[in-house]
């Protein structure tokens, strides 16, 4: 059973783990929330899907904390009911507020439970739960000292893309830039980047694919038309592997999954960390690539002042160097490591 809710940073790694277990003939179930994006992403024909009434308290003020004890009790009770119904042999917690009541229920039922913390700094819930679960796995070395670093689960289909040398072989022409704004897009990407790219385009040939999110697609397209830029704007990118393979460099946020995919595949990047991320974890994630000389970091407040100059200073040779620096020496195989730990008692 997998517990993940809220953001894609928790859900997509959970889906990768679910896919790995399903491929190995295990029945998979999932606990999420009724409002979260996991409702749309989890394949309910293959995975038994349950919800519990749990919300985070950060940013909710004093009333959020006052309501927390009652909400927690209700969520624990609902979690116990789900676990009794499913009777899972093991439980994987992907982090976030939803995992706390589920972990308590699993502890009461003596279910083998592991946490996977994706980010370069662990949140409050995972730090607390790491003291009661069987094992804590980490995407990056962070502030849970007892955790084991295994990398982040990466979508299996991304491994089909060619290596760095094969991708760049015989490549000529304009610098290829892929912009990944996330499933919901990002305002700074959709409103500011068209103007910046128009300045760059006056001095350097660039070829751009920009994923905007559905809500921002029309506005983004008009922004590019205003600056007379021929850009392939897309609501969603379904075949991310093909697009990463096409790009010389990627402009993106620095969520844990994004950074992990760039590490596993060898992708040069310009990262703009989301400034309001909890515990500033996106900046810490980005530093993992920066410290390998594999990424440039630009703070959101400095994008207008810095991004054009960064792009103008980068050529394809620099992108190849950054991509090679990003590439991990060997696949970390996070899904396999979690799978082998959880089934060890069955052998």
> What single string gives the DSSP state of each residue in 40-84?
HHS-TTTEEEEE------TTSHHHHHHHHHHHHHHHHHHHHHHHH
Residue 45: predicted pLDDT: 81
Per the prediction, the chain carries an average pLDDT of 90
Residue 205 has pLDDT above 60, yes or no: yes
The 10s digit of each residue's pLDDT in 2-58 is 999 987 788 989 999 999 999 999 999 999 998 888 888 888 888 999 999 886 655
Residue 331 has pLDDT above 70, yes or no: no
Residue 325 has pLDDT above 80, yes or no: yes
Reported confidence tier of residue 185, pLDDT bands at 50, 70, 90: low
Q: Which residue has the higher pLDDT, 105 or 191?
A: 105
The 10s digit of each residue's pLDDT in 248-279 is 999 999 999 999 999 989 999 999 999 988 78
Residue 61: predicted pLDDT: 67
Paired residues of 113 in beta bridges: 91
Query: Is the separation of the CB atoms in 17 and 42 below 8 Å?
Result: no
Residue 230: predicted pLDDT: 86
b/e map of 64-100 (b: 16 or more CB within 10 Å)? eeeebeebbeebbebbbebbeebebebbbbbbbbbbb
Backbone angles phi, psi at 31, to 5 degrees: -115, 125
Residue 179 has pLDDT above 90, yes or no: yes
Reported confidence tier of residue 215, pLDDT bands at 50, 70, 90: confident
Residue 158: predicted pLDDT: 82
Residue 219 has pLDDT above 80, yes or no: yes
Residue 191: predicted pLDDT: 86
Pull the structure tokens for residue 209: 């694919």
Which domains are seen in the chain, by residue range? Answer: 2-151+332-346 (3.40.50.2000), 158-326 (3.40.50.2000)
Read off the pTM. Answer: 0.86
The 10s digit of each residue's pLDDT in 275-299 is 988 788 999 999 999 999 999 999 9
Nearest in space to 310 (alpha carbons), one of 269, 340, 281: 269
C-alpha to C-alpha distance for 72 and 63, rounded to whole angstroms: 14
Torsion of CA 138, 143, 145, 146, to 10 degrees: -40
Query: Is the separation of the CB atoms in 154 and 139 below 8 Å?
Result: no
Residue 345 has pLDDT above 90, yes or no: no
b/e map of 2-14 (b: 16 or more CB within 10 Å)? bbbbbbbbbbbbb
Burial class of 41 by CB neighbour count within 10 A (0 to 12, 13 to 18, 19+): middle
- Show the CA angle centred on residue 328, arms to residues 323 and 333, nearest 5°: 130
Query: Is the separation of the CB atoms in 189 and 179 below 8 Å?
Result: yes
The 10s digit of each residue's pLDDT in 122-131 is 888 888 899 9
């Amino acid at each position: 059973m997998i517990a993940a809710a809220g953001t894609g940073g928790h859900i997509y790694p959970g889906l990768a783990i679910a896919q790995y277990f399903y491929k190995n003939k295990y029945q998979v179930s999932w606990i999420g929330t009724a409002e979260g994006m996991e409702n749309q992403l989890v394949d309910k024909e293959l995975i038994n899907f349950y919800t519990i009434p749990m919300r985070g308290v950060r940013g909710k003020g004093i009333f959020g904390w006052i309501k927390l004890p009652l909400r927690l009790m209700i969520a624990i009770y609902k979690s116990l009911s789900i676990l009794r119904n499913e009777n899972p042999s093991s439980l994987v917690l992907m982090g976030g507020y939803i995992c706390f009541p589920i972990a308590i229920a699993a502890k009461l039922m003596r279910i083998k439970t592991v946490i996977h913390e994706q980010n370069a700094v662990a949140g409050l819930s995972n730090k607390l739960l790491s003291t009661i679960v069987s094992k804590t796995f980490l995407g990056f070395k962070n502030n849970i000292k007892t955790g084991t670093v295994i990398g982040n689960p990466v979508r299996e289909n991304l491994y089909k893309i060619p290596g760095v040398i094969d991708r760049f072989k015989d490549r000529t022409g304009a610098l290829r830039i892929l912009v990944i704004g996330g499933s919901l897009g990002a305002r700074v990407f959709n409103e500011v980047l068209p103007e910046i790219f128009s300045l760059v385009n006056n001095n350097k040939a660039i070829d751009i694919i920009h994923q905007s999110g559905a809500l921002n697609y029309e506005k983004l397209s008009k922004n590019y038309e205003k600056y007379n830029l021929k850009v392939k704007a897309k609501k969603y990118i379904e075949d991310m592997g093909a697009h990463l393979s096409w790009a010389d460099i990627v402009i993106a946020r620095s969520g844990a999954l994004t950074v992990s995919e760039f590490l596993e595949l060898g992708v040069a990047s310009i990262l703009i960390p989301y400034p309001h991320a909890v515990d500033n974890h996106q900046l810490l994630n980005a530093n993992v690539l920066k410290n390998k000389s594999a990424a440039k970091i630009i703070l959101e407040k400095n994008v207008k002042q810095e991004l054009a100059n960064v792009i103008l200073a980068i050529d394809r040779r620099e992108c190849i160097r950054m991509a090679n620096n990003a590439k991990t020496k060997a696949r970390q195989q996070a899904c396999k490591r979690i799978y082998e730990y959880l089934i060890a008692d069955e052998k």
